[in-house]
Structures are given as structure tokens and as C-alpha cells.
Structure 1
Amino acid sequence: MNDQMFSKSITTLNIETSSARLLSVSGRRVKKWGEVPLPAGSVRDALILDPVGVGSAIDDLFKSTGMSRSGVLVSLTGFGSVFRIATLPRLNAKIISEAIQWAARREMPVPLPKLHLSWQVIDTQDTEQRIFLLGTPRSLLDPFYQALRQAGIKPRAIELKPLALARMVNRAEAIIINLEDESTSTTVLLNGIPEVMHTIMVKTEDLLLEDRIQKLTEELTRTVSFYNSAHPEHSLSPATPAFLTGEMASQPTVAALVQKSIKYPVESLTSGIQFPPDLPVPRYAVNIGLALREIPPGRGDKATPVNSCPLKINVLPTEYHH
């Protein structure tokens, strides 16, 4: 599908602890982007404490960039979210929801009333199917949605950051390291699907860059060890590519420091959409991944590679669809 055939505009919003980032895409091309700082203390440990202040800042960002508020795609941190891949018998549509609730009660380490449950079938065999179960804390979702309403946004979809990043890097097997000012996320992909998603909050006041990289290395070692123990038949190869995303990944020295600290090759980010040379791609990688949610996959050539991530989960609760 060429640019003339696909020309609709897509607006994406990524809300971090200290800033919010907007990016718009039209016809497989990034058109605009912008960022605004959030009020100090308005977000702590991924929880929006001041929905009015955050929403007002986002409202100002939309006004200053002139981007559309129609059908915005929004990312939500993966902090506190839990997922499981469950295997169930093939069931008809009338009883699949009940079976999934049963599986979630059995598999999830958090009581279901505290979570908003989303799911997607990722594989179907003759007699059974594999289902990606995702539980998002309602305590995070409620003030998050309040901030969006304050900004005059009715989102088309809310997606977890690790899933948007999985779509952006577009690899069947990869490690994604998201380095933000106050958080570090590590995602391990197998067959394009996150097998590990782990986010930690970081207090950066007294940390030098080298200290932050050291903590990242320790966290990555634990994450990979956990993954390998759970997948002894498919442990990560030393050739598995690592991708750096987020605010800190835009700093020129970070990639070199990370590469010196880990054994996996750090590769540059590419995408099936075109972007201007002055776009700080790692900083807006989540936004690009959100946009790719709405763009038909390419044919597998280098310019528009096939989308390796099959997940397209919307964690927007049905009670918010109004």
C-alpha cells in the first residue's frame, strides 16, 4: 500500500513521569512532534497524582502544535501491569469470555478486581488456543483517563508502552531497553510477542550516568536469567539485538556505554515509516509504535518491513467508551 492509498492522519500521545510527547503521522511519514514538561510532582511512580495539572499541560501541547485531538492513540506505562500466556481449549464466542476470566483468576498474581483485564488470541491449533492475558491496574487507569478528559481527549485506544515498542522495533526476537528520566523498562521478545515485560522506577537525583548504566546492566542480567530459566529450549542467543529507546537513549554517549556493558549487539532503530533527520527517534519510539498500530504492515522489504508484533490490545475499559 503506497502513501497515496494510505493518507489518514494519526496522532499519538506518550505520557511520561516528567513530560508528555505528541507525534503525528500522515501517509507513512512523521509530520509533527512536540513535547511539554509536566508539573513537578504531578506523576510519581507512574501514578498521575494531579490529573488536572497533567491534563492542562497536554491541552497546552495540543494547542501549541495544532495537532488533532480526534482518535488519539495513547500509551500507558507498563509499571504494575501483569501478563500471562494461557492455553485454553478452542471455545465458541459465547463461553470464551467466561473461560478467560477463569484462566485469569488462576494465573494472575493480583486479585482481578484490582485489574482491568484485556486479552487477545495469539495462536490457534486444532483443539486449543494460546491467549495473551493482560492485567492493568485500575489505580493507574482511573487518574490517567481523568487527565485525558481534562485535555479534551477521547482516545481511540490506550496501549501499554512495551507493546508499542515491540511493534516499533519489528523483530521476532529482541531485547528492548527503555531509558526514561525516572524509569527503566526491559522487554524480551520471542516471535514478536513480549515474553518478559519489567519496569522499575529509578530515583535519579544522585545517580551519575555510569551508575544508571550499571543498574541497567544488573537489571538486564536478572531479566535475561529469568527468561532463560522459563525458556530452556529457546534461551537468548548472544546475537539477539538490543534496542535502546526513551529520553536517555537520545544522548550520544548512552549507546556506547550500554554496548560496553552488555554482550548483546545494540542496533539502531529503524521503522516502516519515514521521519525527518532531526527527529530524536529513541525519544519518540513509543509514539511511532503507536502510529504503526493503525498503519497496514508492509510487504517485507527493507523500507516497509512486515510487522512482527501480532498484539493489538486496547486497555481502555468499556466503561470509558463514552
Structure 2
Amino acid sequence: MDPQHSGRGLRTKRADQRRSLPTTLLRRVEQTLREALPWRPGQLKLGPASPGQPRSPSLSPADEDGLRSLPGGQVAETRISISVDGSRLRLVQTARRRVVGWGCVELPEGAISGGTMADSQILGTALDRVFSAKQLPRKRTRIAIPAVGSAMKVLPVPWLEDEELQQAVSDEATRLLGYSEADSYLWWQEVPGRRRDRRVFVLTCPREPVVVMIEACELARVELEDMDLGILSAARCANQRDAIVASVEGACVEAVAIANDLPVYARSVLASPPTREAAEDLLPAEISLCIAAVEEQRTAARDGVPPPIYLCGSAARSQALAERVRIRSGRRPSVIAPPLFVPSDLPAAEYAAALGMAIKEPQQD
């Protein structure tokens, strides 16, 4: 469909320029995983989802309905982008920067625990069932995962040589972000720009969910091209220099503040008690923290323009939640407009994390 009739504009140039947004985890951890896991590519075989349950590519009627807008098939130059959102998978099929299909399926019980991936066997079986039933291409797949347990921050660091700088970043990540070499991955990148002080963007991510996701893809024979955190992928879909992006999936609240094209603040919180209602109660306060973080980082030239707020995932469906955010922040959530061709009936805000993976530039080695 022509984007001029879809209500969603194109801002492709800015998206193409955002190659430095430091979010990719997969390539930095791949070698570590290959050394740590007791298998090698191609060695794993997908077994039953549970004892006595035969493997089957068939979908339930509910899943068939959720995937009705996903045509599937081996379309030329197609790519599948997936987001793990609470207890469901959202899938987007794209070809040449155009969305050609989308769909959503519920994950079986046990696949997700505590807001993140827990069982690679169950998750791998679910992936295989969707790819088999819709005859989707298994190469060049991109996946956005929940940010539970992750932390990120822009840190000031001294002017040191490379090896000393690496140690300084690790020490600061341990002190400020709770980084543990045994349990987490660490990724950092120097923030470009001319200034007296040196700054780096630092991201830590727990090892276990990454391992589970990669193992699930291996079990399902899905070739994983890229992986990212869902809330950062949704921010890429928003395609704004300054923005607040937030989501609620199940009992988990995730929010990120983008300032000058960099995530300067992010939180992923499991509500207590672990209910959807408790998570929605937390969201307005988390957005207020993000607004403060953006305003602290912005230049004087843009001080008079408040950063837009975007509600993504399941949160985008709730008008009552949007009104609570408006009352707390003083502004209404904005309508997300992905920088690619999308059909007018695609609920882009709900699929923001998957769409963000679809538009992501290939990682530069």
C-alpha cells in the first residue's frame, strides 16, 4: 500500500544514518557462547515439546487467527523479524523495506518466566511450529528480546589507552550497573563528538536469556542474523532524535529515554504483585523518570520542544492507560510512524519492537 494513504510517513534517511546506535548483542557474544555451550551449530535436534507430545507443525485455531495477516512463503529477499513480548511472539515479514505480513501467537506455558525467556526447548518448538506452518524462510531472522535484567547508561571515562579503557569501563559498569562477568555480557561504545570529557555508552545484559534464545533458534533451525533488546528496537521504530518509549507486557514495564539519538536512561521493572494492573500503575512514574533524563541531556536549542512519548506493545491498545500518561506527563502519547512502507491496518505501535528489527542496519564488522 502507498504510505501516503496509510497515515504513516517515511523518514528513511534518519533511520539509515543511525548505524551507531549501540544495541547489537549477538555478534559480540557469539564466540563466548560457542565456547560455553555443550553443542555446536547443526548438532541440536528439535524434540517433543514435552514428554509424550509428538512434534507437530500445526497451529491452534487461535494462532491461525493471530497469523491471518502473515502470508508466509518463500518471498524473494524476505526477512522475518520477531519480538518476544511477554507471553507472545509478534512477527513481521518484510521485503525491500515493505511490510508484506504480520502476525502474533501465544507462547506455550513455561517458555517465559519472570518476563524473559526461560526454556529453549519449549520456545524452539513454538518457533518451529510457526515457521513450518506458514512456510517462512528461516534465514536472516532478527529477534528482539525483553530487557529484563539489562542496564544501560552513558558514563564519563578518563582518556586512557584501549586496554586500560576496557578495564575502566568494566569497573564502572560493575559499580553503577551491577555488571558481573560471570552472569552478564558487557557492550560499550564511545559516544562521538568533540568535548573535553570522554563518554561511553555501556550496556549490560544477563547471559541466560541470550543463551536460551540462541539455543531455541538453533533447535528450530532458524538462522539468527541479529538480536537486540525489545525496548531499544521499539525506540528505533519511533525514529526520533529525542523520545520516550515505553511498553507494558504482562507484569513487566520497560521504558527508555532517547536524547541526541542515544539511550540515556532505561528501566525494566517487574511489578509487585506480578499483575498487569500493577504494571500499568507503574508506567506513568517510569515515563516521568525518562522525561527528566531526556531534559537533562538535551541542548538549549531544543529545550522548548518536549520529547514525544510513545506507548508500544500491548500498552498501545489501552486508551485508559494513555489518558493516565497524559495526566501525569501533561502530554498525549504520539502516534508511531515507522520509516518503512506499512499497510494502514497494521497496528504499528503494537509491533514496534519487531518493526525496529526490520529497519535495523546490518552490523558493521
Which amino acid is the alignment partner of residue 107 of structure 1?
A: A
Q: 1:66-124 deviations in whole A, cap 9, x for unaligned?
A: 32211211112111112232445677xxx635522432223333223321122233304
Amino acid of the residue matched to residue 138 of structure 2?
R
1:103 aligns with 2:172: no
Equivalent runs, 1:21-100 vs 2, <5 Å:
21-88=90-157, 96=162, 99-100=165-166
In the alignment, the residues of structure 2 paired with residue 313 and residue 16 of structure 1 have an alpha-carbon distance, to the nearest angstrom, of 27
Q: Letter of the aligned partner of 1:22 in structure 2?
A: L
Cα displacement (A) at 1:128: 6.8
CA-to-partner distance for each residue in 1:128-171, whole Å, 9 max, x for gaps? 75322211111222222222222212311111122212211111
Give the distance between the partners of 1:47 and 1:127, measured in 2 at CA: 40
Q: Which has the larger displacement, 268-277 or 114-123?
A: 114-123
Aligned-partner Cα distance in 1 for 2:153–2:324:
33
Partner of 1:117: 186
- Residues 90 and 127 in structure 1, CA contact (< 8 A), matched pair in contact too: no
- 1:20 paired with 2:67, answer no
Alignment of 1:127-276 (within 5 A): 129-202=198-271, 208=277, 213-225=280-292, 227=293, 239-276=306-343
* Alignment partners' CA distance in 1, 2:335 and 2:134: 28
CA distance in 1, matches of 2:136, 2:162: 40
C-alpha distance in structure 1 between counterparts of 2:343 and 2:298, whole Å: 42
SS in 2 for 1:83: strand
Distance 1:238 1:48, change over 3 A: same
SS where residue 208 of structure 2 aligns? helix
C-alpha deviations, 1:18-67, integer Å up to 9, x for none? 11121121122101112221112321113322211111111111123332
**Offset, 1:207:** 5.4
* C-alpha distance 101-157 of structure 1, shift in aligned 2 (>3 A): farther
* Structure label with greater radius of gyration: 2
What's the RMSD between the two structures over aligned residues? 3.2
Secondary structure of the residue that 1:130 maps to in structure 2? strand
Higher strand proportion (structure 1 or 2): 1
**Contact conserved, 1:166 with 1:193, CA < 8 A, in 2?**
no
Percent of aligned pairs with the same amino acid? 21
- Structure 1 unaligned runs (5+)? 296-311, 315-322
Indicate how the Cα distance of structure 1 residues 213 and 105 shifts in structure 2: closer, same or farther if over 3 A, else same. Answer: same
Alpha carbons 2:145, 2:228 under 8 Å: kept: yes
Q: Which moved more, 1:192-201 or 1:108-117?
A: 108-117
Mark the CA change 1:236 to 1:144 in structure 2 (over 3 Å): closer, same or farther.
farther
Residue 187 of structure 1 aligns with an amino acid whose one-letter code is V
Question: Distance between the aligned counterparts of 2:202 and 2:279, measured in 1?
Answer: 32
- Matched residues, number: 288
Q: Secondary structure at the match of 1:247?
A: helix
Letter paired with 1:283: E
Distance 1:23 1:270, change over 3 A: same
Is the CA contact 1:238–1:263 (under 8 Å) kept in the aligned structure 2?
Answer: no
Q: Which amino acid aligns with 2:225?
A: R
Q: TM-score, normalised by structure 2?
A: 0.69
Q: Which amino acid aligns with 2:360?
A: R
Tell me: CA distance 1:204–1:38, structure 2 relative to 1, closer, same or farther (3 Å).
Answer: farther
1:40 is paired with a residue whose SS is: coil
- Contact 2:85/2:313 (CA < 8 Å) preserved in 1? no
TM-score by structure 1 length?
0.77
The whole-number CA distance in structure 1 between the counterparts of 2:156 and 2:191 is 10
Amino acid in the other structure paired with 1:77: P
Deviation at 1:176, TM superposition (A): 0.8
